[in-house]
Structure 1
Amino acid sequence: MSAQKSESLSVDVAVVGGSLAGCASAIRFSQMGYRVAVFEKKAVTEHSYKQLCTHFLQPHAVPLLDGLGLAHLREPAWSVVTKAVFVTPGGVVETPGGYDPEQPDSYALNLERRVLDPALREAARRQGVRYLQGTSVESVQEDESGWTLDTRDGTGAQQRYRARLVVAADGRRSRLAGLLGNPTESRPNERVALFAYFTGIEHPEGNRSVFIMNDRDLACTYPLVDGRTELVLFAEKSRVESWRGTEGRLEQFLKYFDDLDQAPSMADAVPESPLLGYTDYPSQIRRPVQGSVPFVGDAALSLDAMSGVGCGFALQSADLLARSFAGRSLDGADRRAGLADYRERFESTILPHADGICGDSLVGKDEATRQRMFTTICRSPELSHKYLALTGRMVQPAEFQQAFLRGLMTQRVGAART
């Protein structure tokens, strides 16, 4: 750092990264009475948001909006209340019934990032969080009294900060992970992902979000506010290799959906965006705590977008971190206990979902086994409910697996008796 830097500024909590997990963590620590600063390396405007997202906030995370001062985002002006419908090789998996506004975890939200991202940043500022956009953290150093962070803003100006706790929320390319030696475990993802927004597509009854398993692909339709629809396709790479040119790729994309019997008609679809996407997006897993720094959101766990867990796990990891420090100070034994508590909560609550999600990122599966599995699920209302709870991250994978084995045995016994 230059000798021209000004005197160190002091905060209690320094959150590195100003997206969902970072802002949610900052709000929660500020609510505890701490002085909090967020360091976001990107130059952010009030209209900045992430485009490459399914915008599907799963049921387990919907109640977390309330504690962040964002309960209003469940209203129709801001989001679409929805439930998942899975069209599988063994039949349709769907939970009947409507939505209970008194039970926000009974439904999902199609909440676009163009709404959520600015709203969360504004909620952080209202809470008194200092949001430093366009400011990168160049180095961090810990001593007996806390952390020193050397930063640089967009003009090149340098500033040093002191903090009692540093939270790593700087995404899948986390610089803090490199500075602190938090290793990245990479898992392969064998599908490409394509995203586009449209008007003119009729929404399904009840504004259901429909997930169609087609061979080894997953085609998703998400109803959005103002009668818009997001279409997302997770497909084998060979499926789309022949789609060439901007207009040709979009035309082939729409044709793919129109050829699916269970998808709405694309005849009147009008594109609102170009075709967005990625061809290589491996899942990444890091330790939830490295030394005395907790990692939240994509900095800790960045999984295949086909699982739709990104937004939910970002908010949930921030919630787990805040709850781990409730009633504790940021110093000494209290800080160590809070970090240990967060590590245990993360590893028991969020991490168990990773193996199944990473397994679903591989296309080389036994289709006969897969069909038998979904046939078993579709024949049992209890298993259907459990499957939807699993995909909504309301139950742990082990709980679903136990229920599936019981259901499989029950069906086999019933078949033997007939």
Structure 2
Amino acid sequence: MTQPENTGHGYDVVISGASLAGSAAAILLARRGVRVALLERRSDPDAYKVLCTHSITANAYPVLDELGLVPAIEKAGAVRNEARWYTRWGWIEPKAAPGGPGLPYGYNVRRSTLDPMIRSHAGRTPGVDLLLGHRVTGLLREAGRTVGVRASTPQGEREIRARLVVGADGRDSAVAKYAGVPGRAYQNGRFGYFAHFRGLPLHGGLGHTWFLDPDMAYAFPNEDGVTVIAVLPGKKRLPAFREDLEGSFLAFVRALPEAPPIDSAERITKIIGTVDHPLHSRRPTAPGVGLIGDAALTGDPLWGVGCGWALESAQWLAEAVAPAMTGRSDLVGPGGLDASLVEYARRHRRRLRGHQYLAADFARARPFNPLERLMFSAAARDEEVARHMHLFGSRLISPLRFLTPVAVAKASAVNLKHRRAAASPPPAHLSRTEP
């Protein structure tokens, strides 16, 4: 529900973008006593992001829990995103250790369900004014720092002042552009197309990811019996897709190992996608400005991490800046806010820079490197290594923890044992020829 506009004393924070990152940040800040204007350029409260993996990795489960959205997401039919991954060494199928806790999970849920849910939740949160149809057209600046935004609204232009402006407005962030925030783009050697199918069974009811080295594909089951299928080939295949999108898409899926039976399923959407999806990394702060979600860092869609990182970065920002804004910190005023933004930027960089570095390297659509071959092949052969890979794929451990000397030694031992077994002759009773 849209809250009435506040025309009195302004806000503590104005957020541009009321999708996952922006709505989550608004809720978490308001609960900490911060007054928030949440701006959304679209006027439709049910608007949603179309081009998405529609998956929330397990690293963001604590954020969903803090937001109080887990019961509503499960009631809506979201699917816990357990998965199996195809490699040329076989399937990697992470399973919980016998007698141990279950594997961490997130959810597969379409943005047409999730975006209106979290936006409505934000609009009902005391302390949040949800302002639909508000598009940021510029920033207000004083003494070298941002102090608010100019926005185009259904009623005309208006200025909204705030102590902090948050850009949650996607990879082409207008807030980042107007603030002059520097960034870096990494070219993606793959392109991607998606389609939704109903009535498409998957082995074990699990999500599937195909590492075809270097081409990629995945099929994720979602709510309401809908499965999202994506193909992410290297750009050498692009001419064929441009000539015949539907034929090339369907042929690619049919050729997958244990291919989903798309010919007996109902396709309920067009085939949509993008031929150019660079990865973006921006400095997540500037004086009076914080960036979250894709505005700060746009990952490679093949990993399905964007939704999870959007929610996590919203939580990190709220935890960093709320104390300075509500007087619960020893640091007050612009200096205290700036120190809080420094802490947020440090946390964002520490948690995501390594993941983005590896993703940008893999986005070159190159074959697996030796270390990747080691870990993927071992994970296909050993349940412990598969669980370790699941933690990394869920972004619950860093690249450094994924590739510790102990983990690499374990994978090496698994593969050595496999090679020795393959080289050993069969037992004599199995090698005798029956008369």
| TM exceeding 0.5 | yes
How far has the Cα of 1:222 moved from its partner? 0.8
In the superposition, relative to structure 1, how do residues 348 and 271 fare at CA in structure 2: closer, same or farther (>3 Å)?
same
In the superposition, relative to structure 1, how do residues 338 and 242 fare at CA in structure 2: closer, same or farther (>3 Å)?
same
1:290 lines up with 2:286 in the alignment: yes
How far has the Cα of 1:379 moved from its partner? 3.1
Distance 2:137 2:373 in 1: 51
Amino acid at match of 2:227: T
**CA-to-aligned-CA distance 1:49-73 (integer Å, 9 cap, x gap):** 1111111110111231122231223
SS class of match (2:116): helix
1:378 lines up with 2:380 in the alignment: yes
Amino acid at match of 1:271: R
Distance 2:352 2:390 in 1: 17
Unaligned runs of 5+ in 2: 1-5, 327-332, 425-435
Alignment match, 2:150:
150
Q: How many residues align?
A: 405
Q: Note the 1:342-381 alignment, pairs <5 A.
A: 342-365=344-367, 370-381=372-383
How far has the Cα of 1:133 moved from its partner? 1.8
Alignment match, 1:3:
none
Moved more, 11-20 or 187-196: 11-20
Q: Which has the larger radius of gyration?
A: 2
For normalisation by structure 1, the TM-score amounts to 0.89
SS class of match (2:185): strand
Q: 8 Å contact 2:377–2:415 — kept in the other structure?
A: no
**CA-to-aligned-CA distance 1:293-348 (integer Å, 9 cap, x gap):** 11111110011111111100000000111111353336234312311211111111
Moved more, 395-404 or 363-372: 363-372
In the superposition, relative to structure 1, how do residues 137 and 225 fare at CA in structure 2: closer, same or farther (>3 Å)?
closer
Q: 8 Å contact 2:29–2:322 — kept in the other structure?
A: no
Distance 1:33 1:71 in 2: 23
Distance 1:265 1:17 in 2: 38
1:302 lines up with 2:298 in the alignment: yes
Moved more, 137-146 or 159-168: 137-146
Alignment match, 1:231:
229
**CA-to-aligned-CA distance 1:180-219 (integer Å, 9 cap, x gap):** 11112000101110000112311331x3110012241111
How far has the Cα of 1:382 moved from its partner? 2.6
Q: 8 Å contact 2:213–2:368 — kept in the other structure?
A: no
Alignment match, 1:125:
123
Amino acid at match of 1:38: L
Root-mean-square deviation (CA, aligned residues, Å) is 2.7
In the superposition, relative to structure 1, how do residues 259 and 138 fare at CA in structure 2: closer, same or farther (>3 Å)?
closer
What is the percent sequence identity of the aligned residues?
30
For normalisation by structure 2, the TM-score amounts to 0.86
SS class of match (1:354): helix
Q: Note the 1:136-147 alignment, pairs <5 A.
A: 136-143=135-142, 147=147
How far has the Cα of 1:8 moved from its partner? 7.1
How far has the Cα of 1:369 moved from its partner? 6.7
Alignment match, 2:329:
none
Distance 1:383 1:216 in 2: 22
**CA-to-aligned-CA distance 1:127-157 (integer Å, 9 cap, x gap):** 03111122122222333797142222145x1
Alignment match, 1:20:
20
Alignment match, 1:33:
33
Unaligned runs of 5+ in 1: 1-5
SS class of match (2:403): helix
Q: 8 Å contact 2:33–2:322 — kept in the other structure?
A: no
Alignment match, 2:433:
none
Amino acid at match of 2:18: G
